[in-house]
Structure 1
Amino acid sequence: MLEEDYPEASLANWRTHPFNVRGFHNVDRLIATQPIECAPSTVPLPRGRILDLAAVMVDGSSASSGLQQSHTDGFMVLHHGAVVVEQYGPTATASSRHIIFSVSKSVTGTLAGVLVDRGELDPDAPVSRYVPEIIGSAYGDATVRNLLDMTVSVRFVEDYLDPLGDVARYRVAMDWNPPGAFPYQGGLHYFLATLPRDDGPHGERFQYVSPNSDLLGWVLENAGGLPIAEMLSRYLWQPMGAESSGFITVDRNGAARTAGGICVTLSDLARFGDMMRLDGKANGRQVIPKAWVEDIMTSGDPEAWQKGDMTHLLPEARYRSKWYIPTDHPGTFCAIGIHGQWIYVDKDAGVTAVKFSSQPLPVDEGLDRSTLAMFRAIANALR
């Protein structure tokens, strides 16, 4: 299909296929945003020998076929920092700033490490030290580490397709949906402070709850004394040499959607992922504390993961500071967002791969598994 064959999106349908094909890289036309400014001068990513994806086989099909089947809007692979694959869908270009959904969580968790290194954030401190407004909610006796590792005992059902569920009410609060089944009652921060405690202690079970990551963003703003967009620019985007400014969605009160609202170009997301591959270095400069990246790679509770709700995708894994670490594939880690957004890093193979997608379903286990298998096949081809 050509670009003109895809319909324009509105606030009411922008996450619904086929409207999402345009909607995912035109979010700033639909929702309020704040800019993540890029560096004043940058160097383009170097180019390497092009990898022929038609020759990379995954379960009897080529990787190029897999990209088409998974509604890919943008795909880039770096090998030892050089671009060996760069492709775009019918409505996207190299300058398109695509929403990365929950890959935003991994960016936010990485920013947390910078604030820890600056002495502005204690990951073992109670959340209420930084955000007293949440006392009385599920988060009243949780720690920042519980937010980082998704081990808060909170009652929230992450069902993206239930029009009357927790996520539907959440989306009205963040101004991602027009009021409909739920009237607007307050913004994102108001919503976070209403979430009730679940049974069981904090820290024992991985439970994927997106509001944890929005609250983490609120914590970081109060700890660092700056808006999230400015900190992302100052501490990550500019020092890593981002070529383009990104942006993050905010509600009508200016609360940033750090759980899923970051929008960036494909090449800058690849830069960010490759910086993680290099233990936090970019352009010869230590941008992210090496100790924070090492902690992500070596820490996280495998028992908490096994008690959680994502073993169907990663049977053996850990989750640390908003990153997934598949323990059955040493040296790899990834960030995952709904509708098919990915960062995949294989340190041993020197590979960083990023993917923008407009998959029809928010969560498609079959496509997730095949995409993960494709990343691994590409890494093996380049090893």
Structure 2
Amino acid sequence: MQGESSVAAQASFRPGRSLALLALVASALAARPALAEPGDVTASVEASAGRGYRAWSFLGDVELREDTTFLTLGYTAARPEAGTAPTHQLSLGVDHLLGTHWLVSATASLGLPKSTLTPLSPERPRLSLPAVDARTGYASQALLLSAAWDSAGFSDVEYGLDTSLSFTRYPLSREVGVLTRTGATLRFVREDLLWVARPSLGGRLLLGTRWEVGLRAGLTLYSQDPLTAGQFTDEETAELARRFETALEARRAMLGLRTRVNRDLGTGVARRVSDLNATTGIPTAPSRFDFKPSLTWRPGRVVRGQLSYAFTRYVAGEGLSHVLATRWTVRLGGSARVWAAVALQEDRREPLEGEADAGEPSRVRSGLMTVGGEYTF
């Protein structure tokens, strides 16, 4: 690889936040700013929105050892839909460059406890039916290990590979409160512990100075079914059904709660929260596997454009999603860059018992947008 392609390859492999937070590697590998000087600090901010979803992330690199070791700090907040509590995640990582080809990193992240109250049914004194509400919540603790190899040569065709493995612990809690005729509150409480392991693999191929082809894939493994973890037993569900006017109303309320819980878990469990943006899509349920091919074009040093497609297969019974996205990055001098991405997402739900009565759509389309910026000082 010659000229600019050589610089781009080395810059993309520059240690820092891209591999410590592997969730951002697909967008950051080839879009890093010019090689930083010793002691430089890089800070970035990104915001995403789509179909009630909101997310904000702040990331930073601090050099610990000249050109070889970097400390990565991150904070992400995400709200899966209107009316739910946001998820707050803190991360701390270390990147270390081994020679000119290898980069290894480790990241620990902590998801702060969250709790969301969902009204299921209002009180109906004339029918002697109490108010029913549900409170759902979870927290997380995760460890991510990753390694990347870059050819870092000077030929017209260069390539890079990376792999990662994460382990996450999720305490999941569900609580339903029912006001009885005596004024006491009847509560059904359940808490489960869900473990999640996620291996992933990525690769990129640089063709000359203008083109890059990339592919990423990941598999998510669960210690138990994430659709039933923390949910209520059949006996508890039957007891709750007696608090509604009709069986159909009870079914609709429970299906609505399940949909909200699955969307919330999809954001927190399907992937790392910091990986959710317009180019990857917003999961509406826990995922089983996903892959994302991409094509990047660099007409010069200032502008970079990318076209990508992301496919996610959710766990059994929850369908799949398609995301078609484009992302454009503009470099503002040697120390700053900004980017924006837009996408169209389609989720296809598999019909479940009772969903036809509840009016659940089989297909949902939504638009997504992400904007961000980075500055090195």
Which of 1 and 2 has higher RCO (CA within 8 Å, sep 6+)? 1
Q: Answer with 1 or 2: which has the greater Rg.
A: 2
What TM-score results when the alignment is normalised by the length of structure 1? 0.21
More strand as a share of residues: 2
